[in-house]
Structure 1
């Protein structure tokens, strides 16, 4: 069986799909990933990667969209409420450059199944073109709702030109990775899959070791330093100076100079796998990214979500962190020494984290779900003997 994986930037979304792709590969199936930006890091996962939108930048696409339509910036920052479709203009703009390659791969590589992360509904287009099932991996607590309907409406002219005018807006199956007790909804959108931490490989002289003081890692994720700089860390760094603890700034490739002279107990580190670093930590401060939030639970580490209202994280994982009781949530500029002290001292947070960690360990691993997902192709083929036969490419 051939399985096409589809992702949009940033690279963290590729890392989120990688364990499931490995599981398919280990089970003897062929896999291929479509992505763009940081394709070398994507290839470092061990997957074969097609650069589906060479020369494009997700940050640049959104900046251009918001410059042309400034009213969208305010909508992007609003709480989603019951209208997740307000995200559709940004999602459509990010997906448009991927459409032609998605259709071409459906015609030439002929996948039997398409797996896409929630913000990459061009995977639905590839699946429709190939006549095969699509599986969505949710990013957090955003419900798909009418997002895909509106995205496909906004992309209708592009899809008509590519010869794929009719694309179902719902996948055959959705995978939830936020544990059940953390979802602030009465019912999940699909099947649960255990989170497996992966943030890329790294060459290290030695493994991270615990220090002689409590250690806190601070991260902005893989995209925000390039989009908004390091300003979101200023309050956290200033507050950290007042604590008897070690603070590590996981900045990736970003230079720390914009933060000025750092306090003696704060130091930047290069790209370090979170699954190795977090078990040595007493806490983590992050932007609300799904990978960091779930990796913290996996490691049994309390977390502080320091929200930037410009970032989608306050709409995806912060509600789950609050419902699960596994951390604190505040605005990035409101972080104080007392906030950080509470992160390190609150036993209720630590107890809740341990409970959700135990719950997470009971969920099916990616490898356990491969037979379920493979069965979708059998069911589709039985229902439609012509399924999996892509139409001739239009010219």
Structure 2
């Protein structure tokens, strides 16, 4: 079977698809990833074959243009109501118009039997409908976006669908969901479960992999965009607050270009260049992060309590759901995120109160019981 993988021009949107793509390739299927240039290095890093389509997108630049002065994401964007969450996919609805002329020739040349894409890649539905190819969407976790976004996409892209001879924007044949059912939003449409297998990019097992005996280790991973979008003061405050807790070591992933701006770090705070999280999460006792889908599910896979500091979009829902099941604490307002005492108290609670660890481990066990990417790949090959 020939499988075409399509993705938005954001590397982390692609990494969610890698374990399934690996499973399909390992089973002998021909897999090709087609995407804009932003993601080509990530495709190559995953050991996959890529074809470039369209122009460089540079998503961070588009978001930066909407920031107010030197304010970070959380200080600029308010949390949206559930019915408004589709607005976060508006950029991908517009982008479908841009990439459609590039995708159609690629599809017709490769002649796939199946298209796999993330759940807000709407051009996949247009090319799949036009060529009579089933499209499988893959969520990246807690999903407040795709339902309202699909309604907006069907209205906004109706003219393109008509030009292709379609009655409207087709729905995906199937939606794969790596989110443990107890963590998923009740409002999300039911999906086919697929176990989340972390792929956080390639890397080398670091020399600091194992902590000192008796030291509690906390990982801080606040996302590349958080730092790039006026987030340096925020990240510095978080690291300083974490360092006030006795007996812990903090491992903070951060692009080296920001180290000087962050300034000298307190004792027991180690800045490291971006390192695949799955290489050291097994040595950690808790994780502090921004509510990204990949980070939250990787921490879930390792049974770690999570302190979530959401900045925008679906990150609020991710934090809220983790808190609801007891596996995390979410501080979703600017005042809480900026207060060192509040940050330290929340992290200390995750480290010292056993109910958080118990809930996180139960969530990890639930994830482990979901069908593996290999099992899902075999099922897809049989049905499509």
What TM-score does the superposition give when structure 2 sets the normalisation length? 0.87
Match of 1:148 in 2: 150
Query: What's 2:293 paired with?
Result: 290
- Retained in 2: the 8 A contact 1:141–1:319? no
Alignment of 1:236-315 (within 5 A): 236-244=238-246, 245-252=248-255, 254-308=257-311, 311-315=312-316
Change (3 A) 1:252 1:66: closer
CA apart distance, 1:226: 2.6
The structural deviation recorded for 1:88 is: 4.0
Contact 1:252 1:271 in 2 (8 A): yes
Residue 147 of structure 2 contacts residue 189 of structure 2 at CA under 8 Å; is this kept in 1?
no
Of residues 132-141 and 313-322 in structure 1, the stretch that sits farther from structure 2 once superposed is: 313-322
Partner of 2:41: 40
SS of the residue corresponding to residue 146 of structure 1 reads helix
1:10–1:223 Cα contact (<8 Å) kept: no
Cα distance in structure 2, aligned partners of 1:302 and 1:27 = 35
1:223 is matched with which residue: 219, 222, 225?
A: 225
Match of 2:368 in 1: 361
Assess if the C-alpha contact under 8 Å between 2:144 and 2:314 holds in 1: no
Structure 1 match to 2:354:
347
Relative to structure 1, the CA distance from residue 296 to residue 52 in structure 2 (aligned partners, 3 Å threshold; closer, same or farther) is same
**1:223, 1:3 → 2: CA distance?**
31
Structure 1 residues 181, 368: CA separation in 2 closer, same or farther (over 3 Å shift)?
A: same
SS at 1:268 equivalent: strand
Quote the Cα distance in structure 1 between the aligned partners of 2:148 and 2:295: 27
What's 1:381 paired with? Answer: none
> Quick one: structure 1 residues 341 and 75, their matched pair in 2 at CA, closer, same or farther if it must change by over 3 Å?
closer
Matching of residues 88-167 of structure 1 within 5 Å: 88-139=89-140, 140-142=142-144, 144-156=146-158, 163=164, 166-167=167-168
Alpha-carbon shift at residue 233 of structure 1 (Å) = 1.4
Tell me how many residue pairs correspond in the alignment: 369
Q: Distance in 1 between matches of 2:155 and 2:117?
A: 19
Q: Measured at CA, do residues 209 and 249 of structure 1 come closer, stay the same or move farther in structure 2, by a change above 3 Å?
A: same
Task: Name the CA distance, whole Å, in 2 between partners of 1:65 and 1:160.
Answer: 33
Alignment TM-score, normalising by the size of structure 1: 0.85
Asked if structure 1 preserves the Cα contact closer than 8 Å seen for 2:177 and 2:193, the reply is: yes
For residues 284 and 294 of structure 1, the distance between their equivalents in structure 2, rounded to whole angstroms, comes to 11
Structure 1 position 8, deviation (Å): 1.5
Give the Å deviation of 1:96.
4.0
Which residue number in structure 1 is paired with residue 71 of structure 2? none
**1:181-203 deviation per Cα after TM superposition (whole angstroms, max 9, x unaligned):** 11231775211111101101113
Q: How far apart are residue 251 of structure 1 and its match?
A: 1.3
| Residue 370 (1) aligns with residue 377 (2) | yes
Q: CA deviation at 1:89?
A: 2.4
Q: Offset of 1:5 from its aligned partner?
A: 1.1
User: Partner of 1:70 in structure 2?
Assistant: none
Describe the superposition over 1:114-144 as per-residue Cα deviations: whole angstroms up to 9, x where unpaired: 1111222222122123211111111222252
* Worse-matched range after superposition: 336-345 or 273-282: 336-345
**Aligned to 2:146, what secondary structure does the other structure show?**
coil
Question: Displacement of 1:41 after TM fit?
Answer: 2.4
8 Å Cα contact 1:141/1:315 also seen in 2: no
Residue 337 in structure 1 maps to residue 339 in structure 2: no
Query: What is aligned with 1:209?
Result: 210
Assess, with a 3 A threshold, how the Cα gap between structure 1 residues 184 and 155 changes in structure 2: closer, same or farther: closer
Pairwise CA distance, 1:320:
2.3
For 1:63-102, what aligned pairs fall within 5 Å after superposition?
63=64, 77-102=78-103
Q: Tell me how far 1:207 sits from its aligned partner.
A: 7.0
